[in-house]
């Protein structure tokens, strides 16, 4: 069964769950139990002739607020 990355809209917690794609809407945040989670697509794959991937800065926060 594949794993998917999610981020909680409530607390911002990022987590990975192993769930069938058809059940991904049942995923809840393991940190706060919130149901408002969004799936993250980390489509950073290495391909021949490709360039560098843009990775999010570690520990980076959100601007503004
Ligand atoms: Zn949460």
pLDDT digits over 50-61, tens only?
A: 455 555 555 555
pLDDT at 17 (0 to 100):
92
Q: Is residue 60 part of a domain?
A: no
User: Structural domain tally of the chain?
Assistant: 1
The reported pTM is: 0.61
Q: Is residue 65 part of a domain?
A: no
- Ligand 1 centre to CA of 24 (Å) is 15
HEC letters along the chain: CCEEEEEECCCCCEEEEECCHHHHHHCCCCCCCCCCEEEECCCCCCCCCCCCCCCCCCCCCCCCC
- Ligand 1 centre to CA of 17 (Å) is 14
- Ligand 1 centre to CA of 26 (Å) is 14
- Ligand 1 centre to CA of 54 (Å) is 25
Domain that holds residue 35: 3-40
pLDDT digits over 10-59, tens only?
A: 999 999 999 887 898 899 999 999 999 999 876 555 455 545 555 555 55
Q: Is residue 56 part of a domain?
A: no
**pLDDT band at residue 63 using 50, 70 and 90 as cut-offs:** low
Q: Is residue 29 part of a domain?
A: yes
């Amino acid at each position: 069964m594949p794993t998917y990355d999610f981020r909680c809209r409530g607390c911002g917690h990022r987590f990975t769950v192993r769930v069938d794609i058809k059940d991904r809407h049942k995923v809840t945040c393991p940190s706060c139990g919130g149901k408002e989670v969004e799936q993250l697509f980390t489509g950073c794959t290495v391909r021949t002739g490709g360039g560098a991937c843009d990775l999010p800065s570690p520990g980076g926060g959100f601007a503004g607020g």
